[in-house]
Amino acid sequence: MTAVAHQSGTFTVAGKTVHRLGFGAMRLTGPGIWGEPADRDECIRVVRRAVELGVDFIDTADSYGPYVSEEIIREALQPYPEQVLVATKAGFVRTGPGEWHVVGQPKYLRQEVELSLRRLGVERIDLLQLHRIDPDVPLADQLGELKALQDEGKIGALGLSEVSIEEIKAAREIADIVSVQNLYNLNYRKSQDVLDYCTEQGLGFIPWFPIASGELAEPGGVVDDIVHATGATPAQVALAWLLAVSPVVLPIPGTSKVAHLEENVAAAGVELTADQVAELTAAV
């Protein structure tokens, strides 16, 4: 298989122009996104193969493992190819498998950024996303600390995760925000207004859990019909639709298996007609 991620188009974020179909590194961990993966060597192969296939936008977080995902990315890619942009996140504390706790205390955010720099083996994090806004800490304090780290040259650009339009606007009063990462897929559109805002403002929109299609992929469903018409898999149809709905969307399907990765990346070559895009868009 030749590199196909370039067929997804490009988007410029954090000073780098990347292919829009990226890779989400959450699955490079154990069950519950906790601890080491069952096959670390395979996970390293996944990251390297992604780059071979033209993927140059990789999304991770300090809380994946915790720390395991960042460490695997470093082992797989350092020294990093110049075109690769690694985005990470801070703001979640892990206390066990499947357990996530929001912490936005400025000292904690600074600590985690400093540790992510060491784990990733870089002098600057290309894109640092606030994993969640902590409701118990003033937003100005959370973003103010991240902006200070940016001013120190330790962060290239700032993004947000799981936010409303109002929260994005409030954040942009404090710092320059270049991306938003919200749950969004064929079957779940509650962030449609946020995507519309990002499209209008030219902000990168990174949908997590991007390949869920639910009942739409059942026999006789709209995804199933398009699968038969195109020869693509349901996951590829879901990713192709995301790439088609807005030029600012950067899907980040994740996996811990090379074969699954190759299937996901091949979605960049799936061409949906305007009618098929409209049909999928209207399905939910």
Dist CA 157 CA 171 (whole Å):
13
Dist CA 235 CA 178 (whole Å):
27
| Catalytic positions, written as ranges | 64
- Reduced to 3 states (helix: H, G, I; strand: E, B; else coil), residue 244 is helix
Q: Which stretches of the chain are assigned E, i.e. beta strand?
A: 10-13, 16-19, 23-24, 57-59, 85-90, 92-96, 99-102, 125-130, 155-161, 177-181, 204-205
Dist CA 126 CA 174 (whole Å):
19
Say whether the peptide bond before residue 106 is cis (omega within 30 degrees of 0): no
Task: Centre a 10 Å sphere on the Cβ of residue 199 and count the other Cβ atoms it contains.
Answer: 15
Phi, psi torsion values for 217, nearest 5 degrees = -95, 0
